[in-house]
Structures are given as C-alpha cells and as structure tokens.
A and B are shown apart, each in its own frame.
Chain A
Amino acid sequence: MTSQAAMNRAGPGELAYTADEMMTVAAARALRDGMTCFVGIGLPSVAANLARATHAPGLVLIYESGTIGAKPTQLPLSIGDGILAETADAVVSVPEIFNYWLQPGRIDVGFLGAAQIDKFGNINTTVIGGDYRGPRVRLPGAGGAPEIAASCREVIVVVRQSSRSFVERVDFVTSVGYGSGPGDRERLGLTGAGPKKIITDLGILEPDPVTLEFALTGVYPGVSAAAAKERTGWDLAVAGEPGIIAGPSPAELDALRSFQALGSRQRSH
C-alpha cells in the first residue's frame, strides 16, 4: 500500500506507523469474530484480511466473485485471485452471490471504499465534475457496491479523508447511504440499516442518531478535531469530546506488514 501520509513520529517506547496503517487497523477492529462480511476491493480487503489474521479468525469473507468463506494467506490484488477460490468454503456464480446471498439480507456487514462520500454517507464511484456524458473524471462505476450498500445488515466505509472527497453532496449517487436524511432508506425500500461508520486516515465518523449526518466521534493519536474539520468539505460536527483511538498494537502492525510483504503490490484506490 502506498502511504500518502508521513510516518507518525514515534516517541520512546512507541511504535512508528503510517496514517494508512492506522486506518487499516481501525477498520479491521470494526469487524467482529464470526461476522459475515461482503468485502469490497482495495482498502476494505486489506482491513478484512487483517481482522481475520488477528482478532477475528472466524470472520467469513465474501467476495463478489462468488467466493464465500475465502481464507487467503496473502493479500489478493483482485476480488477474483485464485487464492480466494482455492481457500473458499463455497464458490458460487455471480448471479447466485448477489441474488441468493446478498439480496435477502444474509450478510452482516458490507465493507466498502469510496472515491467521494457526502455527509449522509452516500457514495460516488462513477463520475466527478462536468456532467454524466462529459465528466471531468470517469471512475470505474458501481460494481457490487449499490446492492452491498442496500442489502447488507450494515455498512462500513473505509476511505482517506480530504476536503475534495468528503463533500456536502456527491456528484453522483452510485450507492445510497441515508439519501437526503431520515426516512429515505425506508421510503426507498432499502432493507439494510445503512452506513454505521466511515473510517478514515484521521479517525472515525458515525451518523448522528437523529439527523443521520456523519459526525466525528473518534480521532487517532496526534490528530486534532480541527484537522479533521479542515479535511472535510462540509461543516463537520464533532461529537462532544471525540475519543482517542488507540494506536496499532505490535501484533496488529506485524500482521499487517507481513501480509503486505507477502502479498501483491497492492495499491488502494
């Protein structure tokens, strides 16, 4: 993984780690042992595999390639690497993974990335700028995300935070979070509960229980709420005194680094 952030300065007896490593560790911690997790490509896949390698050995990883219960020993570059099929409990077709497994709400948590995300947790992975037919930037598009966002019991988003990617309103709603606010998911017939956490390279955002607008609830060691506000394109609310999230443990860092040393030249987008 390429880190865009400087190494955290380590004091005596402290571990040095990058902001990306902290983010990946925080995302992994959000997954509980025994959960079923529909894993998106990139950062979410790294974090889900880290969780399996550390505190959640019974985590069931499900990829849209139809691999259910994949247990890769090295990081896959794609969602369809051979290691996923070879280690899976079951390999099913793509229509089956979406129709039989995702759609009825059998999967606990959807783990997604984003190119752009707004204060209601709506995700854009389609186009940025211009209009749809003449976009400034053409992104990959929807993939499995719209139905993961709609049908998993809950959703966790892992994305680096910047004022350009954290916007008041996304340019294109590829996957629905809370739409334009309370009541929208119910009105739209979306069966899952929606995004519960946005985990970034600065800290964690969670939806306000009443307004459903994402607010800062936790920051990493050495990160200020002001810095998080600075890197948010909407007027980010801060929940009281945001908690300080513990830095990575030696075991977490070791597991993450050995994964990445073993794995492909994973780049996250």
Chain B
Amino acid sequence: MVFVSAQNGSDVAEIVSLADAVKRSIHDGDALAMEGFTHLIPFAAGHEVIRQRRRDLTLIRMTPDLIYDQLIGAGCARKLIFSWGGNPGVGSLHRFRDAVEHAWPSALEIEEHSHAGMANRYVAGASGLPFAVLRGYNGTDLYRLETLGAGHDAPTIRPITCPFTGETLTAVAAIRPDVAVIHAQRADRSGNVQFWGIAGVQKEAVLSSERSVITVEEIVDHLDPRPGAVVLPSWAVSYVAHVPGGAHPSYALDYSVRDNEYYVAWDAVSRDRAAFSRWLDEHVYATGGQEGKGGLGGWVPPDAGGSGGVAPPGVNPGRR
C-alpha cells in the first residue's frame, strides 16, 4: 500500500517506546478507552499504565475483561463505563466486583450500557456527532435508572422522536475519550496501522478520541493489502509502539492464540486481594516494562497447575 505523506511531520504517528507513549498521552484523570473485543486487547499497555501509577482514570471499554480487572484492582480507576463486566466463559471479574461491592481498593463509579448502546456511542464520537440513535433500552431498568437519575451523573440515554416518522427511538450520548489504546497486528515505518480478524470497535475508539496509542506485533517496511483488514493512516494516529505479544492473554490473529487457560486461571488469583497484590508486584511492577518483549513473565497462578513452578499448559506468554 502506498500512503501519501503528510506535509507536516508533527501530524503523523510517532513510533516510540510503550513507556514513552503512555507517559506522553495518558494523564491522571483522563478518560481512557482501551479497546479490543476479546481479540487484540492491549494488555501490555494496560500494565504500563499500572506501572506508571496513573490515577483517577475514567476507564471506558465494552468488556472490561481481565485488563480492566487489573487496572481497577491496581487503583487506577475512578469510574468505569462499560457494557459487559465478566470473565468470558469463566465467571466474574473479581477485582471489578470487589470495587463495586466493597469499594476496594477504592470506590468505583459505574456507567453501564448494552453492547449496542456502547458501540453506537463510539460511532457518534467517531462521527463528530453528539449522539447516536438506535432501537434499544425500551422497557429495561438501564433506561429506568437514567430517567430516575439514579444511575449516572450525566444523562447518556434519552428518548428521541424521529423528525420524519414521529416514531420514538433511543438516543445515546457520544463517547469522546481523551485517549484510545488498541493493539494491532502491524504498522509500517511511517506509522500506518493495519489490523484484521475480529475488529470490534477499535477503529471507532481511535477516531472518537483526542489522542491514540497503538501497540503492534510487527513493524514492516510495507503493509501488504489484506482482505477485510482495517487500516488507520498514520495521520489519524498519535503514537505507535512495537510490542510483540502485547495482547497476551488475548491474542492477535495470525500471530498468537487466545490463552484460554490464563483466563481460567485468573479466577483464582483475582478472587483474593493478597494473591492479586502479589501478582501485581511480581508480574507488573517488577518487570520494569520489559514485558511484551519476551512475554509477560511466565507467571504461574496458584492452584492452576497443582504444583508451584510448573506452568499449566497455555500459560505461556508470547507463543505463536
């Protein structure tokens, strides 16, 4: 693919280290969207945010998944905007639940939607519109909470009348994050980014945000066209960082497979505050940002393999 070079160099993506990308783009109090729908979740970037001890973030993500369970447990979040907060196929996100049910490590304000609502909120943000329209929420208590004002501090769901048919539909407020972070398969040396497979809402998240950070498996000389791939041109991206394995235990199609055993094993670690805190110390703070190069630390969860020190199959970061 050939891209037209931007005239002004400051307008194109800079290729920097992950630590620099996080330092420059994510600040305390920011609204941060780290997207990736099961696939391409930017875990390494999440760990860097924890290491840099960002605080009071508004975390935005359709499925908080393990990545936000970790950020919430590490005390980075003030608020969570989401639509499905479980460990897929396994059960609860225990750090998320502990924050909501017991305010540990601190209280967590929540703003919740359905997937369709969240997806449309990103579309509105990416489109430069204040809201999106859908058929949805009617009859649900998500809607009732909004009308009672008991759910959220600012309204995000409202009825709207179609100016053409008179039909009553639902409006949802746009999401406009300060910064979006996603993981992708490839970028070229100019910072043009390409990803494929399950594309989720990553394009919408980047285009609705003020700034963006994209971690990639590989930096190549030329991006070959791929069927169905999404391309984000360099001038639409702020920072690109080379972080192979940066989606683990999520995956990057054609580079790695989803580490389902890790997701299962996370249940036991996240269930217990002390076990979680140990995990943070050993596998996030102590790595000094070197994870993602050689993997995420070969961490062995307690009870996962029966004997300490032997990694259960699949808890093998960075495998291809």
Contact = CB atoms under 8 A, between A and B. Distances in A.
Interface string B275-298: 000000000000000000000000
CB-based closest 8 A-B pairs: A80-B38, A140-B86, A143-B84, A78-B88, A77-B89, A98-B116, A176-B139, A142-B114
B90 A142 contact: no
Interface size class of A (residues with CB under 8 A): 35 or more
29 contacts: A67-B198, A77-B258, A77-B264, A78-B38, A79-B88, A80-B37, A81-B258, A82-B197, A85-B39, A92-B199, A93-B204, A94-B199, A95-B120, A95-B123, A98-B120, A102-B116, A137-B101, A138-B101, A139-B86, A140-B85, A142-B113, A143-B83, A143-B84, A147-B115, A147-B136, A150-B138, A188-B139, A189-B168, A267-B91
A140 B92 contact: yes
B253 interface: yes
Given A85-B197, A85-B198, A95-B119, A65 B37 contact: yes
A266 interface: yes
Contacts of B167: 189
Interface stretch (B4-12, B13-21, B140-148): B140-148
Given A138-B101, A143-B114, A94 B139 contact: no
B302 interface: no
Contacts of B120: 95, 98-99
Nearest to B199: A93
Nearest to B123: A95
Given A82-B253, A150-B135, A266-B89, 13 more contacts: A41-B86, A65-B38, A80-B88, A85-B253, A137-B101, A143-B63, A147-B114, A150-B136, A188-B138, A189-B167, A190-B138, A265-B260, A267-B91
Interface of B is mostly: loop
B100 A91 contact: no
B233 interface: no
B203 to A, nearest CB: 7
A176 B137 CA distance: 9
Given A94-B200, A99-B134, A132-B150, A146 B100 contact: no
Between B89, B122, B257, the greatest number of chain A beta carbons within 10 A of the residue's beta carbon is seen for: B89
Nearest to A174: B140
Interface residues of B, number: 60
A184 interface: yes
B134 A141 contact: no
A184 B139 CA distance: 9
Given A65-B198, A95-B119, A141-B112, A82 B257 contact: yes
Interface in B140-166: 140-142, 144-145, 150-151
Interface in A34-75: 41-42, 64-67
Contact of A94 (B115, B142, B145): B115
Nearest to B202: A93
B311 interface: no
A84 B260 CA distance: 14
A144 B116 contact: yes
Given A144-B114, A174-B142, A269-B91, A79 B228 contact: no
B131 interface: no
Interface in A91-147: 91-95, 98-99, 102-103, 126, 132-147
Given A77-B90, A80-B38, A91 B135 contact: no
B82 interface: yes
A141 B82 contact: yes
B77 to A, nearest CB: 15
Nearest to B261: A265
Contacts of B91: 267, 269
A98 B140 contact: no
